[in-house]
Structure 1
Amino acid sequence: MRIRVRPLFLALTLLVGCNGNRDQLLAEIQDPRPETRAAAVKKLAAQNNPDDLVLFTRAAKDLSAFVRGEAAGALGESQDPRVVDLLGELLEDPDEAVQGQAALALAKVKNDKAKAYLTLQYGRRGRATRQVIVQALKSANVPGAMATVVAAESKGLWDRNLLALTEGALPERVGAAEELGKSGRAEAVNRLLPMVRDSQVILAAAAVRGLGDAGDTRAVAPIALLLDESFPELRESAIGALMKLQDPTAATKLQAVAVEKSAVSPLATEAILTFPRTPTTDAALCAIALDGARDEALDAGRAMRSRGGCPAEPIAERLSRPASAASGLQAVTGLGPSAQALLPKVTPWLNQPDVTLRTLAVEAVTHVRDPSVVPVIQKLYEQEVAGLTALRADWITQALPQKYSADLDPSAPRPEAGRMKDDNRSSKHAQLFERLQALNAARAREAGRVVVQPRVPSELSDDVEPAKLQPLATLLTALGTLKAPGALEVLKGYAEDASPVLRAAALVGLTSVGPEGIQVASAALLEPDRELQKTLALALAEQGEAGQLALVASLPKMGSEKLVVLDALKRVGAPPASASEALQGVVKEGGAEAALAAQLLGRMGAKDAVPTLLKALDDSNSVARRDVLLALGAIGDVKSAEVVGRDLYHDLPEIRAAAATALRKMNTGPEAEPLDALKGDYFREVRVAAGASPTKEGTASGGAQ
């Protein structure tokens, strides 16, 4: 009897203990503290009591995300089909952690309805939840889990956009046209092509933008015809689309727009600059260098420098006639050293009485950078200084005094009364007298034509219109760029000039005359004049390593002006390796500047920047995320593949595309499956980045049709 009684006694004791523990948990599930409620839910779930399902259902509505997450897990452990709808609601919870727990819980139910919830919500959730959904489907033994949800998302987007295009209001149709084009599907192109002639310009422009994203070269000819339209929005959209389509056959049509000197001419020039090099694109750029507006012409000419320049005959012909000389000089300025052969045609214009042509000629020889013209530039500089000095007659009509009058002589004794009153006036007269004496001494040395001369006094330059100072400004830059003897001292004098025109020109010239000049010029980067900053930054960047390091050194002292410096560095290629630390500092600060800094680090292949770039990915809201991913891909450090691979699940297509591009450059194996799944993505740019090849119809192999 004892043997039988003891087990019964122990069982009763355990039952009483369990009931006591359960009573405590039932009390704790109503505790005001969320962490206590969550712990109680978790412990009750471990007891696997079917009667507790109602408690977990109630906890799923709790105000605390912590409790809701534990409730989702408890509901999943029950594997009760009745909880699927509730878990589906939790999959849309505002808290991302709750979404992930709901996804894992749905996978445990293992029925078709649960899988349908997971598949549907993949396209609506953020990166972390999308990744968990794929893991959940894999745990539920769904074959090709990621490919399945990617295809489902693609189908949903296509159906929704197609419905909006055919049945939506005008704003919806506009958005749908652009989104359908981004799919790159042949059917999208077939639907959008007729729309480029729609009577509603806003819809036609949207169709054009969509065709640009579709990547189908069938759209090139119809879009190029739109450049003849008069609607600015339509023309702008057409240029943007042609830039994306990258078909050089459109270069001739774009050239006509580029030389018309309209509001869209800069866009047309930019488009041609991005095209692959062909004889057609070279010819178009040379034509723009001759006949385009100044900025576009200079950009086109600079682009042709690395391509061997432009044919000399058309430019020489322009230079042979006064009526067309301006365009020829403009072309030589853009072409720079590649137009060396045209220098004999340019130098005669340095002696022309027409100040405009003479100034253009100075600019041209400056960019050709031939030191043989230095004596002529020196002489022109002295003549220009003398001409401006003659303007003193406008404000001093009498003969210049050779000594102070008695009442103005600062060394003469005078009564204490009124002394303070006259101090300022005497000081100004003293300064003026000293400057005039210096000018007289300069004229006495004119026969020797030495470069070192005193600058034009600010009192003179302040009285002159900025346009009249431009010839002198051009000569100042020329003295520095051509490294004329004594240029450093002359330009340092003008670097503090009151005239913004003269000061900017002197600072640009200083960037070419050695370390001291670079130091003076780089100090001016901290001034508030944004245009001066842009001009100086580009001039310094073009000076090679010394100028670029000066730019990099200025970064920690700058605020939003960092964008100016970073953009200048980007234009000239990759900075020296020693710039990595400063650029990493910009990445750490975040913001738009971080994107440019990441691009530069990628160009440099800065392996020491990998930890900084990976840390930047921790910020889910970073505007530089795409550029950081691409930089990591350019650097090619395989250790970063796992972190980069997480963004294959990102909800933004441009981020998925950047992650795919980076991983393919790293050539790592673990991410092969998600990369392959993205070949069925809705967006063409993602499919191509994942490795799918564009077809003739502008679609990508592997994409759902």
Structure 2
Amino acid sequence: MRTGVRPFILVMALVLGCNGSRDQLLADLQSPRPEVRALAVKKLAGQGNADDLVLFTRAAKDLAAIVRAEAAVALGESQDPRVVDLLGELLEDPVEDVQARAAMALAKVQNDKAKAYLTLQYGRRSRATRQVIVQALKSANVNGAMAEVVAAEAKAQWDRNLLALTEGELPERVGAAEELGKSGRPDAVTRLMPLVRDSQVILAAAAVRGLGDAGDKRAVGEIALLLNESFPELRESAIIALTKLQDPAVAPRLQAVAMEKSAVSPLAIDAILAFPRTPQTDAALCAVMMDGAPAEALAAGRAMRSRGGCPVDPIGERLARPATAASGLQAVVGLGPTAQPLLGKVTPWLNQPDASLRLLAVEAVEAMGDASVVPALQKLYEQEAKGLEAMRADWVTQPLPERYGPGFDPASEASPVKSLTQQAGGEDKVAKHAQLLERVKALNAARAREAGRAVVQPRVPTELHDDVDPERLRPLATLLRALGTLKAPGALELLKGYTQDASAPLRVAALTGLARLGPEGVELAKAGLLEPERDVQKAVAQVLAEAGDAGQAALVEMMPKMGSEKLLALDALTRGSGVPVSASAALQAVVSEGGAEAALAASLLGRMGAKDAVPTLIKALDESNSVARRDVLLALGAIGDAQAAEAVARDLYHDLPEVRAAAASALRKIGTPAQAESLDALKGDYFRTVRESAGAALTKDGTAAEGAR
């Protein structure tokens, strides 16, 4: 009898224990703590009780994301078709983890409705969820899962944009025209071509921009005709589109726009510079150099300087006549050393009474870099300095005070200002205000010291008023810069004396001249990067970037001290000829800080091929909202290290097309066969740039390219 009682008691204990445990879980669903409710949902799901489906449905509406995530898993485990709509709602949850759980749960239901939810939401979700959706479809045995959802997304985008173009209001039609062009489909070109002559200029301009993005050169002729239009917006859009279409045959038309000295002339010269080099583009640049506005002429001349120069005989003919000498000198400034045969025709203009021609001549001999003209420039400097001596003399001989005199400090007890304040009943306001300002200054200084930045103090004026207009100082500034560029004897000491001048143009000239005097001059010039005036900082940064290894090393050295102005240094290095190897650590620090500066820093690291920066760049991809994401991906591609392949490949799922295109381009250079399926799927992407980048990353047989070794 005892042997029969024991099993009965054991069974009853287990039943009561289980019931007790379940009762506790049901009670935990009402707990105020989200983690307790989530754990209760998870344990109840593990029991597999079909009656608990209503509990999971209620938990899917919980305010806590952790509970909704567990509810999604539990609903999926039930494999009940009735939960598909609820899981579809959870797939739109604001929290990505809930979206991911819902996607995997839908895959377990395995019916057409669940698959439709997954396919639809792929085009609406961010990178992490898009990747999980593809994994979910694969787990549901969907062949070509990524290719299918990419194609569905492309179709939805095309249908939406086409509907907006044909039936939408004007703003919707404008946006749709540009988006249709980005698809690069022949049908898009066919639909946009008639719109370039639309009576609504804003729509016509959008259609032109769309045709530029489409990349179909059939549109070049029609777009080029718009350069004769009178609407600035339409002409600007036409130039932008022609720049993207890269057809050198339109160079003569763009040349005419570049020479008309209008608001769109700078865009026209940029377009010609972006074209592949041909005799047509060279001829257009030479023509603009001769007759364009100063800014466009200088850009064209510098471009031709790197291409070997322009014919010098026409320039010499202009230098021979006073009426045309200005355009000839302007051309020499652009061509620089390639115009050396014209030195004999330029130097006579250094002694002309016309101040504007004399200034152009100084700039011309400086650009040619011939030191034989130094004596003439020194003489001109002496004349110019003497002529300004009386005008620049201090009419207040004593230095201006930098502190309040006795009894005039608003914060002091004896101040008349404070006495008036006390009479008004606010005796402590001035003192408190001064103390607050001092505390703010002290805190800012402490933060700057901790970050290794220099505290830039505002320049205290030495005069109440300057009698000399800045434009009147331009000849002197040009001469100072020229003496430094040509390494004139005594230039170092001369320019050093102007680095603290009250006039910003003269300081800029002195600092830029010093930067061209070798390492010793660079050491003095780099202090200009901490000037309070942004224009001075920008000019010094640019000249240091062009001053070879010493100047570039100085830029990198000063970057941490520049605070938010380090963007100027990075931009100068980007435009310059090179980056020192020692810059890697400083650039990695900028990438780690994030922000707009990180994009330029990443680009420079890629240009350097800095393999030591790969871990830093990979870590930067963890920042989901980084504005530098595209640049980081391209930098990793340029470096070509295979260890970055997995991190880069995740961005093939990114919701931004420019990021997907950058990831595909990077993988083409890195090379990894593991990503061939994803790259092949992107060949069906809506955006032309993504399709082309993905196709270029694959070899002819459909496998990923080997990339750099």
TM-score, scaled relative to structure 1: 0.87
Q: Deviations over 1:103-138 (max 9, x none)?
A: 000000011111010000000001110000000000
Q: Identify the match of residue 526 of structure 1 among 511, 516, 530.
A: 530
CA contact (8 A) 2:28 2:36 kept: yes
User: Would you say 1:383 and 2:360 are equivalent positions?
Assistant: no
How far is the alpha carbon of 1:460 from its aligned partner?
Answer: 14
Q: Say which is worse superposed, 239-248 or 180-189, in terms of deviation.
A: 239-248
Instruction: Please point out which of 483, 505, 511 is paired with 1:507.
Output: 511
Query: 1:448 aligns to what?
Result: none
Does residue 66 in structure 1 map to residue 99 in structure 2?
no
| Deviation at residue 173 of structure 1 after TM alignment | 0.3
Give the distance between the partners of 2:89 and 2:464, measured in 1 at CA. 77
2:552 alignment counterpart: 548
**Matches of residues 324-473 of structure 1 in structure 2 within 5 Å?**
324-389=324-389, 462-473=466-477
Residues 652-693 of structure 1 deviation map (CA, whole Å, 9 limit, x = unaligned): 111111111111110111111111111100011111111269
In terms of Rg, which structure is larger? 1
Classify the secondary structure of the residue corresponding to 1:189.
Answer: helix
Contact 2:664–2:697 (CA under 8 A) maintained in structure 1: no
Offset of residue 462 of structure 1: 3.9
- Secondary structure in 2 aligned to 1:484? coil
Matched-pair contact (CA < 8 Å) for 1:541–1:572: yes
Aligned-partner SS, 1:124: coil
CA contact (8 A) 2:546 2:577 kept: no
Q: Please say if residues 184 and 213 of structure 1, whose CA atoms lie closer than 8 Å, have aligned partners that are also in contact.
A: yes
Residue 117 in structure 1 maps to residue 117 in structure 2: yes
Distance (whole Å) between structure 2 residues aligned to residue 231 and residue 597 of structure 1: 39
Match status 1:538 vs 2:542: yes
Q: Structure 2 CA distance, aligned partners of 1:475 and 1:88? A: 73
Where in structure 2 are the equivalents of 1:31-110 lying within 5 Å? 31-110=31-110
| Superposition deviation, residue 594 in structure 1 | 0.8
Would you say the 8 A contact 1:195–1:203 is kept in 2? yes
Q: CA deviation at 1:347?
A: 1.3
Report the 3-state secondary structure (helix = DSSP H, G, I; strand = E; otherwise coil) of the residue aligned with 1:494.
coil
Give the aligned partner of residue 671 of structure 1.
Answer: 675
The corresponding residue for 2:266 is 266
Task: Report 1:179-328 matches (<5 A).
Answer: 179-328=179-328
Residue of structure 1 in register with 2:632 after alignment? 628
Amino acid at match of 1:176: A
Q: Which residue of 2 aligns with 1:703?
A: none
- Match for 1:153: what amino acid? E
The 5-angstrom pairing of residues 120-131 of structure 1 reads 120-131=120-131
| Greater mean alpha carbon deviation, residues 288-297 or residues 364-373 | 288-297
Deviation per CA, 1:25-74: give whole Å up to 9, x if none: 11111211111111011111111111111110111011111000000000
Rounded Cα–Cα distance in structure 1 between residues aligned with 2:645 and 2:697: 23
Name the aligned partner's letter for residue 635 of structure 1: I
Q: Which residue of structure 2 aligns with residue 434 of structure 1? A: none
Match of 1:590 among 566, 587, 594: 594
Q: Give 1:201's aligned amino acid.
A: V
Tell me, in whole angstroms, the C-alpha distance in 2 between the residues paired with 1:561 and 1:477: 24
Query: CA contact under 8 A between 1:461 and 1:469: conserved in structure 2?
Result: no
Aligned mates of 1:162, 1:7 — CA distance in 2: 74
Q: What's the offset of the Cα at 1:388?
A: 2.7
Cα contact 1:391–1:460 (8 A) shared by 2: no
Equivalent AA in structure 2 for residue 579 of structure 1: A
- Find out whether 1:142 has 2:142 as its counterpart: yes
User: Residue 604 of structure 1 aligns with which residue?
Assistant: 608
What amino acid does structure 2 have at the position aligned with 1:577? V
Aligned with 2:564 (options 544, 555, 560): 560
Match of 1:493 among 485, 493, 497: 497
Give distance in 2, aligned partners of 1:196 and 1:174. 12
Superposition deviation, residue 224 in structure 1: 1.2
Aligned residues with identical type, % of pairs: 76
- The equivalent of 2:447 in structure 1 is none
Distance in 2 of aligned mates of 1:363 and 1:567? 25
> Which letter maps to 1:463?
D
Structure 2 counterpart of 1:602, one-letter code: G
For residues 388 and 84 of structure 1, the distance between their equivalents in structure 2, rounded to whole angstroms, comes to 85
How many Å separate the matches in 2 of 1:7 and 1:114? 47
- SS of 1:143 mapped into structure 2: coil
- Is the Cα contact below 8 Å between 2:545 and 2:577 reproduced in 1? no
Q: Work out whether residues 461 and 499 of structure 1, in 8 Å CA contact, stay in contact via their aligned partners in 2.
A: no
Q: Offset at 1:465?
A: 2.6
Counterparts in 2 of 1:34 and 1:227: CA distance versus 1, 3 Å: same
**TM-superposed deviation, 1:17:** 2.2
3-state DSSP class of the match of 1:525?
helix
Indicate the SS of the match to 1:469.
helix
Q: Can you list the C-alpha shifts for 1:580-611, whole angstroms capped at 9, x where unaligned?
A: 11111111111111111111111011111111
Letter in 1 for 2:532: P
Amino acid at match of 2:692: V
What residue is the counterpart of 2:442 in the other structure?
none
Counterpart for residue 401 of structure 1 = none
Deviation at 1:214, TM superposition (A): 0.6
The residue type paired with residue 64 of structure 1 is A
Q: Give me the whole-angstrom Cα distance separating, in 2, the residues matched to 1:382 and 1:253.
A: 47
- Structure 2 letter corresponding to 1:685: T
Give the superposition deviation at 1:471. 1.5
Contact 2:634 2:666 in 1 (8 A): yes
Q: Which of 478, 485, 502 is 1:481 aligned to?
A: 485
The answer to which of 383-392 and 330-339 deviates more is 383-392
Could you tell me which amino acid in structure 2 is paired with residue 106 of structure 1? L
Give yes or no for contact 2:34–2:66 (8 Å, CA) kept in 1.
yes
Residue by residue, what CA displacement relative to the aligned partner does 1:421-449 show, whole Å, maximum 9, x if unpaired? Answer: xxxxxxxxxxxxxxxxxxxxxxxxxxxxx
Distance of 1:609 and 1:574 partners within structure 2: 17
Q: Secondary structure at the match of 1:559?
A: helix
Q: The residue matched to 1:296 in structure 2 has which SS?
A: helix
SS of residue in 1 equivalent to 2:497: helix
Describe the SS at the equivalent of 2:353. Answer: coil
What's 1:21 paired with?
Answer: 21
Partner of 2:446: none
Task: Please tell me the residue identity of whatever aligns with 2:687.
Answer: F
* 8 Å CA contact 1:633, 1:666 repeated in 2: yes
Counterpart of 1:147 in structure 2: which amino acid?
Answer: A
667-676 or 60-69, which deviates more: 667-676
Matching residue within 574, 591, 599 for 1:570: 574
Aligned length: 634
Amino acid at match of 1:616: A
What do residues 632-659 of structure 1 show as CA deviations (whole Å, max 9, x unaligned)? Answer: 1111111011111111111111111111
- Residue 488 of structure 1 deviates from its aligned partner by 0.7
C-alpha contact 1:630 1:659 (8 A) present in aligned 2: yes
CA shift, 1:466, in A, is 2.4
Secondary structure, aligned partner of 2:488: coil
Does the 8 A contact of 2:290 with 2:331 survive in 1? yes
- Classify the secondary structure of the residue corresponding to 2:143: coil
Moved more, 27-36 or 52-61: 27-36
1: CA distance between counterparts of 2:637 and 2:284? 34
* 9 and 391 in structure 1: CA distance in 2 versus 1, 3 angstrom threshold: closer
**Distance apart, 1:3 and its partner CA:** 7.6
Range that drifts further, 489-498 or 15-24: 15-24
Name the residue aligned to 2:430. Answer: none
Matched, 1:172 2:176: no
Deviation at 1:390, TM superposition (A): 6.0
Contact between 1:90 and 1:99, CA under 8 Å: does it hold in 2?
yes
**Aligned AA for 1:179?**
E
**Contact in 1 for aligned 2:498/2:510 (Cα 8 Å):** yes
**Greater shift after overlay, 11-20 or 645-654?**
11-20
Q: Distance in 2 between matches of 1:21 and 1:5?
A: 24
Alpha-carbon distance between aligned partners in 2 of 1:645 and 1:43, rounded to the nearest angstrom: 36
